[in-house]
């Protein structure tokens, strides 16, 4: 690599003053393990441009890179220690559970180029998805409806509807059968 030639000047995540202000607000209110109240976190995220639905639970110690690049649907749970590293857009639809310590990663570097160019790709998490504890969703991945990424697994490709994925890289291990109550 030739890191002295690295240049990501094309990447403009937002106004520098807003980013600095967000850094401290994130540190004080979102990443803080002593503030368990989701309502405060939802209000602050909305102020900074996040689109947040109703019934969203955000546990302590969550880290969000840029709230203006975040959309969260209705009735979503985000567990302790989740890191949403959203250099690109992250869209989380309805009834999604992102378990503790999971990592949503929208950026990476091009190892094929000596300049180590920045690569940014969006993530979409569809309705009914469960991202297990300590799982990683890589740049450009779409987790389709009702898919599951099991604990500690790494999604490098899209997850199919109603399928359970496990491993590194994650592979489909079986179909997800959902029982209807009543």
pLDDT for position 163: 98
In tens, the pLDDT along 71-110 reads 999 999 999 999 999 999 999 999 999 999 999 999 999 9
- pLDDT computed for residue 149 by the predictor: 98
What is the distance between the alpha carbons of residues 168 and 171, in angstroms, rounded to a whole number? 8
Q: What is the mean pLDDT of residues 26-42?
A: 94
- Each residue's pLDDT tens digit, 101-145: 999 999 999 999 999 999 999 999 999 999 999 999 999 999 999
CA distances to 13, 49, 143, 164, 168 from 134, rounded to whole Å, are 26, 27, 16, 16, 12
Asked if 61 and 28 count as a contact pair (C-beta separation under 8 A), the reply is: no
**Domain 15-173 fold:** UDP N-Acetylglucosamine Acyltransferase; domain 1 (2.160.10)
How are beta strands 136-137 and 103-105 bridged, if at all?
A: parallel
Sequence spans of domains, the chain: 15-173
């Amino acid at each position: 690599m030739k890191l002295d030639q690295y240049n990501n000047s094309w990447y403009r995540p937002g106004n520098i003053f807003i980013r600095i202000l967000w850094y401290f607000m994130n540190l004080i209110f979102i990443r803080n393990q002593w503030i368990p109240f989701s309502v405060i976190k939802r209000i602050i995220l909305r102020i900074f441009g996040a689109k947040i639905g109703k019934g969203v639970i955000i546990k302590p110690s969550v880290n969000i890179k840029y709230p203006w690049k975040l959309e969260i649907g209705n009735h979503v749970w985000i567990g302790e220690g989740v890191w949403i590293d959203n250099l690109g857009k992250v869209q989380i639809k309805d009834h999604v559970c992102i378990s503790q310590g999971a990592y949503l990663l929208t950026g990476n570097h091009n190892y094929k180029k000596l300049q180590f160019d920045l690569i940014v790709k969006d993530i979409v998490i569809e309705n009914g998805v469960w991202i297990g504890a300590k799982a990683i969703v890589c740049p450009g991945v779409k987790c389709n409806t009702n898919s599951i990424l099991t604990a500690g697994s790494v999604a490098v490709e899209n997850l199919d509807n109603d399928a359970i994925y496990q491993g590194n890289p994650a592979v489909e291990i079986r179909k997800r059968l959902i029982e209807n109550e009543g």
